[in-house]
């Protein structure tokens, strides 16, 4: 029997149409599986602002045929720059790997369109309430469906995870940033490397951070960090334009735009478990490896692990053995990335400059598709 014939009858049920769920679904559908994705939201869309991506994500996106659409909608950032207390610290260039940024919605659309082209069936408004070790998905409607595998890609509050009684070590982390998209206002900014990602830090007289991420010619992703003072007040709650202008005057046009734009606040959280595979149910993405975004690898790891899971299964003759081998390869890299991101976040180490490219390169260079193609 040919590989195509062998995999033709295979079926996967996926919980969650986020980056992880759509990535694994696309890879499986392209390998001839039938795939049904359940999304509890009534619309297929991404919330939030922008995203930085590195080489590891692009290799995964190439493997499912979504890279060209991502490249067309994203900006190649020549370098990652750091400024501290008004002084230039470093301009780090990723010499041998790609760094690009785009809006979350553009990334989502690119992957969603590829999933649809591959024939993935996506049901919006379909909530998953659990799954079993034997590969049955349980829906909020009461329907149950069996599959060769069930994928729990239902994000940080995963119901698939809790239904399997997997209790993650979930660590909330103190910091968090407010994120938004504003117009780039390139013509109003002074001289500068405005296509770079620029990380502006200030510790004197108080901690303030602006992460400047140009996503295309039109959209700029800004993330703002600040601490509350002893009286509990924060220059982000509400947005105090004057504080930000005083701290980062070179950003005046985009800070002014930010003051009339509403942002999203997400606290940082890490989710770690001993195992990602429970019989025929597999967890991937934030449901099992949420991480703090200091290395901008959360979505990257979700996409890489989703794609590599799909690629591994696409040539599998023994699903249980394939799942075990896949998680042995994927888990250590991702879990190390969680540890490194958290350390960097806690120490606010990025403010010192000269460490971003070194710190991320282990993960950015990891080729999740190696050995599967
Ligand atoms: P999610 O994106 O959470 O998707 C889960 C999906 O499942 C959602 O659509 C949800 O509606 C659905 N769902 C949930 N429960 C159910 C259910 N019971 N039934 C059916 N559907 C369900 N990563 C980067 O690589 N670069 C960055 O620059 C970056 N910046 C970030 C900034 C912030 C503020 C945050 C919070 C994260 C950032 N990340 C970044 C991380 C990245 O956003 C996440 O790691 C990534 O979205 C995880 O994808 P996912 O598919 O696993 O989960
Ligand atoms: N730090 C970095 C980063 O890329 C992000 C965040 C913090 C380096 C995500 O874009 O919190 O959003 C963040």
Residue in this structure with the two tokens 């940024």, named with its chain if needed: 101
Q: Which of 104, 211, 295, 344 to mutate to test the pocket of ligand 2 (most atoms within 8 A of CB)?
A: 211
First to last CA, the chain: 20
pLDDT tier for residue 1 given thresholds of 50, 70 and 90: very low
- pLDDT 10s digits, 113-153: 999 999 999 999 999 999 999 999 999 999 999 999 999 99
Of 179 and 5, the one with more pLDDT:
179
Nearest ligand atom owner, CA of 25: 1
Alpha-carbon distance values, 82 to 204, 225, 246, 351, 371 (Å): 16, 15, 18, 7, 37
Please state whether the peptide bond connecting residue 205 to the residue before it is cis, i.e. omega within 30 degrees of 0. Answer: yes
Residue owning the nearest CA to atom 36 of ligand 1: 266
Alpha-carbon distance values, 267 to 174, 208, 289, 311 (Å): 7, 16, 15, 33
CA-based diameter of the chain, in Å? 71
Q: Is the model's pLDDT at 221 over the cut of 90?
A: yes
* Mean pLDDT, residues 264-288: 93
CA of residue 261 to ligand 2 center, whole Å: 19
CA of residue 33 to ligand 2 center, whole Å: 35
As a whole number of angstroms, the distance between CA 180 and CA 262 comes to 7
236 lines ligand 2 (CB under 6 A): no
What are φ and ψ of residue 339, in 5° steps?
-65, -45
pTM above 0.85, yes or no: yes
Number of residues in the chain: 373
As a whole number of angstroms, the distance between CA 355 and CA 115 comes to 36
**Cβ-count burial 337-369 (b if 16+ within 10 Å, e if not):** bbebbbebbeeeebbebeebbebbbebbebebb
- pLDDT 10s digits, 12-50: 999 999 999 999 999 999 999 999 999 999 999 998 899
Alpha-carbon distance values, 42 to 15, 16, 251, 271 (Å): 14, 12, 37, 26
Q: Which neighbouring-strand residues pair with 114?
A: none
pLDDT tier for residue 3 given thresholds of 50, 70 and 90: low
What are φ and ψ of residue 332, in 5° steps?
-60, -40
52 lines ligand 2 (CB under 6 A): yes
Structure-token pair, residue 80 = 């990652």
Do the beta carbons of residue 349 and residue 355 sit within 8 Å?
yes
CA of residue 98 to ligand 2 center, whole Å: 17
pLDDT tier for residue 6 given thresholds of 50, 70 and 90: low
pLDDT tier for residue 176 given thresholds of 50, 70 and 90: confident
User: Residue 373 has what pLDDT?
Assistant: 76
210 lines ligand 2 (CB under 6 A): no
As a whole number of angstroms, the distance between CA 184 and CA 204 comes to 27
- pLDDT 10s digits, 223-273: 999 998 889 899 999 999 999 999 999 999 999 999 999 998 888 889 999
pLDDT tier for residue 7 given thresholds of 50, 70 and 90: very low
Q: Which of 196, 293, 299, 356 to mutate to test the pocket of ligand 2 (most atoms within 8 A of CB)?
A: 293
Q: Is the model's pLDDT at 91 over the cut of 70?
A: yes
**Summary mean pLDDT of the chain:** 95
Q: Which neighbouring-strand residues pair with 83?
A: 88, 200
Of 5 and 229, the one with more pLDDT:
229
Alpha-helix runs per DSSP H in the chain? 3-8, 19-30, 55-63, 67-73, 104-117, 159-163, 241-247, 252-259, 286-289, 298-314, 319-347, 356-364
* Mean pLDDT, residues 280-304: 97
What are φ and ψ of residue 122, in 5° steps?
-120, 120
As a whole number of angstroms, the distance between CA 147 and CA 270 comes to 30
């Amino acid at each position: 029997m040919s590989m195509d014939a062998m995999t033709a009858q295979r079926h996967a049920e996926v919980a969650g149409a986020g980056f992880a769920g759509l990535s694994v679904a696309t890879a499986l559908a392209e390998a001839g599986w039938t795939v049904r994705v359940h999304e509890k939201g009534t619309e297929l869309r991404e919330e939030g602002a922008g995203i930085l991506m590195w080489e590891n994500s692009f290799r995964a996106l190439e493997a499912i045929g979504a890279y060209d659409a991502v490249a067309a909608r994203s900006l190649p950032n020549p370098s990652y720059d750091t400024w501290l207390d008004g002084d230039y610290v470093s301009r780090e260039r990723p010499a041998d790997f790609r760094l690009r940024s785009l809006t979350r919605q553009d990334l989502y659309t690119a992957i969603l369109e590829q999933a649809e082209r591959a024939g993935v069936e996506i049901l919006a408004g379909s909530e998953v309430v659990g799954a079993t070790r034997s590969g049955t998905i349980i829906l909020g409607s009461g329907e149950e469906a069996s599959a060769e595998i069930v994928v729990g890609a239902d994000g940080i509050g995963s119901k698939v995870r809790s239904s399997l009684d997997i209790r993650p070590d979930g660590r909330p982390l103190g910091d968090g940033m407010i994120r938004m998209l504003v117009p780039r206002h390139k013509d109003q900014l002074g001289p500068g490397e405005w296509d770079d990602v620029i990380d502006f830090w200030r510790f004197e007289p108080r901690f303030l951070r602006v992460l400047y991420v140009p996503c295309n010619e039109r959209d700029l992703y800004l993330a703002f960090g600040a601490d509350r003072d002893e009286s509990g007040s924060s220059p982000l709650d509400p947005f105090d334009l004057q504080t930000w202008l005083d701290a980062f005057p070179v950003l005046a046009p985009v800070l002014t735009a930010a003051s009339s734009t509403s942002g999203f606040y997400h606290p940082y959280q890490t989710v770690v478990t001993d195992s990602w595979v429970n019989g025929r149910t597999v967890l991937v993405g934030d449901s099992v490896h949420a991480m703090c975004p200091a290395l901008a690898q959360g979505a990257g790891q979700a996409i890489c692990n989703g794609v590599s899971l799909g690629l591994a299964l696409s040539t599998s003759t023994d699903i249980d053995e394939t799942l075990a081998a896949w998680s042995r390869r994927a888990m250590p890299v991702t879990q190390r990335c969680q540890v490194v991101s958290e350390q960097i976040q806690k120490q606010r180490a990025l403010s010192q400059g000269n460490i971003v490219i070194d710190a991320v390169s282990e993960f950015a260079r990891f080729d999740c598709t190696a050995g599967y193609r």
